[in-house]
Amino acid sequence: MPPFRPALTYPESSRGEHHDTYSDAHGQSVQVADPYRWLEDPDSPETRAWVEAQNRVTDTFLAELPARAHYRARLGELWNFPKDGVPWERGGRYFRTFNPGLLNQPLLQVADSPRGPWRELLDPNVLSGDGTVALMGAEVSDDGKTLAYATQSGGSDWLTWQVREVEGGAEPDQPLRWSKFSGAAWLPDGSGFFYSAYDAPQAGEGSGEALTSANRNQRLMFHRLGQAQEHDELVLSRPDQPDWGFSGRVSEDGRWLLVSVWLGTSPKNQLWVRRLTGSGPGAGGFSEVVADFHAGFQVVGSEGDTLFLLTDEDAPLGKLLAWNVTTGERRDLIPEGPDKLEQVLTVPEGFLAVTLRDASHRLALHGRTGERIREIELPSLGTLTLSGQAGSREVFLGFTSFLFPTRPYRLELPAGDLEPLAAPATTFNPDAYEVTQDFATSKDGTRVPLFIVARRGASRDGSNRTLLYAYGGFGISLTPVFSPSRLAWLERGGVFVQANLRGGGEYGEGWHEAGTLTAKQNVFDDFIAVAEHLTAQGWTTPERLAIQGGSNGGLLVGAAITQRPELFGAAVAQVGVLDMLRYQHFTIGWAWASDYGRSDDPAMFDTLRAYSPLHNLKEGTSYPATLITTGDHDDRVVPAHSYKFAAELQRVQAGAAPTLIRIQTRGGHGAGKPTALVIEEAADIWAFLEGVLEGD
């Protein structure tokens, strides 16, 4: 079937005369045009009119796609199954999230046993009429009596914390506002909790100022139950270091306040401790256990004055370290091994360790001195999450893979096996499909893993419509996870491919750093190599190959189509970082410089300009059919990235392939998006891809 190519008339995107001046590595001044600077103001009448006009063009195009109605109906069926969250225990009570099917937001439930029966503790669906208020954090006091929960509205990263009594549901405190990138850490006696906050933006919530202004000078606060937020105690701030952030937690024994001091998205952090009980280092103030940003340190447990730390210090794949903060004594417990050490949970017998081998998880129990006791068999290649309380032999796990939804398990240590707590039933038949892992060879010879999900016996004659998805940044690992959305693509004969590129965390910090700063081009080379591998192996052809990525993955898609437009038949760039010269000026964008560098650094300007998607679109080029998606309330990657890229791509497109932008109103970066909106967006993406790619 030939691709869908109706004649399109795009809205006018006026071009201004604005230019910025940069310095390159040779000390030369460089003028760079920014004709769409006006689109950076999300609230201006001109921008709002442009958004409405673009959405009209996109909606008209999508409405004519014959597969759209099918995908909307089928995705509703595929999503409609019970989704049991992984339980956690506090004070003899058990808590979990649960969605019985198609609720816009999952419920928060409580029970006296991990097997239920469960009763409702909080229903976020009643907090807004359109389902756009989402539960983004839930921390229960150690005695299981009080819940601190955080909500976000309209997709914004801003959090509002509230307190609810587990019995009765009363909410005695007023909301705590202007928190961001924060959890809640309770004192052992339940009298209050630590959280992180910023100053309120100059304008109110939902305004352009709140959605675009830079987030700096985070501070760690303590909220005592029953008092107003204006009386909360300032625990830690560093006005002399406005880019430092502070993430606090309390050790399981209540002895320590542990603060991870972070700088942007770098995995390297400082570690400060303050003694909450007794005397010694950190009594009355903070002791800087790690006082610089040379490596990553994550506290996974403690025993008296000894902290157990998961670190990549002198161990790019990770190791477990014991560090006595009083004596300074350090010793390795689980040394660096051949696989990445990704998560450690402290248990009475020692440590449960999750490792990552070729982008899928393994689980093993280790003794107190680090010796390996046994490996715990998992259902298949997939993704594992752990939940447990220090000192408890009861551990909860969640396991998922490409073809199976997340299933919660209970594990009784030391000798128990995985006990399933729920068995989600879907209308999808996984037996008709198979997952294989393959490896492509990148431009410099690097081995790049990829997972291929397809019907059993799928042909290798190049006839498959294929979607290639990847991320490649910030040390984030892509592992096998279940997505109801992708099932609909598979059922229609599509192939799904997930690639593990440099810049991610699949092979430790060395793999991450090999895709950052001046080496960022390695990420794009890896992605292109996987695309070429898929065509060489007969899975697909360029006319049938689509690519997709979100956020940093949206940058990946933008760079791929500007560098190799002929290699792809379609592209979906979601909430992408597409203007690499100005990303640092908005909200938390400055924090990404550890991966990207900054355009005001002459040593990095040339690198950024060389791959910035917005600045590498060329007139007279036939680009693949492209769907850009964003949210007008995205205050992580502000929508101006997508707006400007769409305007310029529409202007320079020389071929007949459509260039569309889908802008979700009251939508953000993606987290907390209501189920109904997720289904609508997924149906539009699949219908778009099926319509514009060649195929039967």
**Digit-coded pLDDT (tens) for 287-342:** 999 999 999 999 999 999 999 999 999 999 999 999 999 999 999 999 999 999 99
Assign 281 a pLDDT band (cuts: 50, 70, 90). low
Domain that residue 464 falls in: 20-77+428-692
Token pair 């939508």 is at which residue? 667
Tell me the average pLDDT across 409-416: 92
Q: Identify whether 261 is part of a domain.
A: no
In this predicted structure, the answer to whether residue 210 has a pLDDT above a threshold of 60 is: no
CA distance linking residue 661 with residue 403, whole number of Å: 30
For residue 390, what pLDDT is reported?
78
Q: Identify whether 311 is part of a domain.
A: no
Tell me the average pLDDT across 465-470: 98
Tell me the average pLDDT across 379-398: 91
Q: Identify whether 396 is part of a domain.
A: yes
Q: Identify whether 313 is part of a domain.
A: no
For residue 6, what pLDDT is reported?
83
What count of other Cβ atoms lies within 10 Å of the Cβ of residue 554? 28
DSSP 653: B
In this predicted structure, the answer to whether residue 617 has a pLDDT above a threshold of 80 is: yes
Residues 416 and 452 in one domain: no
In this predicted structure, the answer to whether residue 280 has a pLDDT above a threshold of 70 is: no
In this predicted structure, the answer to whether residue 494 has a pLDDT above a threshold of 80 is: yes
Residues 538 and 461 in one domain: yes
CATH number at residue 155: 2.40.128
Q: Identify whether 300 is part of a domain.
A: no
Residues 576 and 647 in one domain: yes
In this predicted structure, the answer to whether residue 666 has a pLDDT above a threshold of 80 is: no
In this structure, which long-range contacts are made by residues 188-192, counting pairs with CB atoms below 8 Å and at least 24 apart in sequence?
A: 188/142, 188/250, 188/254, 190/141, 190/142, 190/143, 190/145, 190/146, 190/225, 191/224, 191/225, 192/222, 192/223, 192/224, 192/225
Domains held by the chain: number: 3
Residues 361 and 501 in one domain: no
Tell me the average pLDDT across 404-422: 93
Assign 425 a pLDDT band (cuts: 50, 70, 90). confident
For residue 501, what pLDDT is reported?
98
Among 161-165, 425-429, 634-638, top mean pLDDT goes to 161-165
Annotated active-site residue 642? The verdict is no
Residues 87 and 73 in one domain: no
Last residue of a domain, one of 199, 226, 245: 199
Q: 105-136: per-residue pLDDT in tens?
A: 999 999 999 999 999 999 999 999 889 899 99
Q: 515-555: per-residue pLDDT in tens?
A: 999 999 999 999 999 999 999 999 999 999 999 999 999 99
For residue 676, what pLDDT is reported?
93
CA distance linking residue 413 with residue 131, whole number of Å: 40
CA distance linking residue 474 with residue 470, whole number of Å: 13
Residues 389 and 452 in one domain: no
In this predicted structure, the answer to whether residue 514 has a pLDDT above a threshold of 60 is: yes
For residue 277, what pLDDT is reported?
83
In this predicted structure, the answer to whether residue 567 has a pLDDT above a threshold of 60 is: yes
Assign 3 a pLDDT band (cuts: 50, 70, 90). confident
The one catalytic residue in 156, 260, 387, 551 is 551
The one catalytic residue in 223, 585, 615, 669 is 669
For residue 424, what pLDDT is reported?
86
Strands 306-311 and 297-303: antiparallel
Q: 187-202: per-residue pLDDT in tens?
A: 999 999 999 999 988 7
Question: Mapped to the 3 state alphabet, what secondary structure does 298-314 carry?
Answer: EEEEEECCEEEEEECCC
Q: Is residue 199 packed enough to be buried (19+ CB in 10 Å), middle (13-18) or exposed (0-12)?
A: exposed
Last residue of a domain, one of 199, 224, 241: 199
Residues 37 and 134 in one domain: no
Q: Is 675 left (phi over 0), alpha (psi -120 to 50) or beta?
A: alpha
- Which tokens is 597 given? 């560098």
- Which tokens is 470 given? 């990847």
Residues 556 and 601 in one domain: yes
Residues 25 and 154 in one domain: no
Tell me the average pLDDT across 149-173: 94
Tell me the average pLDDT across 547-567: 98
In this predicted structure, the answer to whether residue 8 has a pLDDT above a threshold of 70 is: yes
For residue 389, what pLDDT is reported?
85
In this predicted structure, the answer to whether residue 365 has a pLDDT above a threshold of 80 is: yes
Residues 51 and 88 in one domain: no
Assign 672 a pLDDT band (cuts: 50, 70, 90). confident
Assign 203 a pLDDT band (cuts: 50, 70, 90). low
- Which tokens is 644 given? 């400007």
Q: 218-234: per-residue pLDDT in tens?
A: 999 999 999 999 999 99
Residues 384 and 500 in one domain: no
Annotated active-site residue 231? The verdict is no
What count of other Cβ atoms lies within 10 Å of the Cβ of residue 172? 11
Q: Identify whether 222 is part of a domain.
A: no
Q: Identify whether 251 is part of a domain.
A: no
In this predicted structure, the answer to whether residue 213 has a pLDDT above a threshold of 90 is: no
Query: Is the pTM higher than 0.85?
Result: yes
Tell me the average pLDDT across 470-486: 97
Across the chain, what does the average pLDDT equal?
A: 94
Last residue of a domain, one of 199, 220, 240: 199
DSSP 9: -
In this predicted structure, the answer to whether residue 206 has a pLDDT above a threshold of 60 is: no
For residue 396, what pLDDT is reported?
97
In this predicted structure, the answer to whether residue 436 has a pLDDT above a threshold of 60 is: yes
What count of other Cβ atoms lies within 10 Å of the Cβ of residue 242? 13
Q: Identify whether 276 is part of a domain.
A: no
Residues 440 and 400 in one domain: no
CATH number at residue 442: 3.40.50.1820
For residue 159, what pLDDT is reported?
96
In this predicted structure, the answer to whether residue 671 has a pLDDT above a threshold of 80 is: no
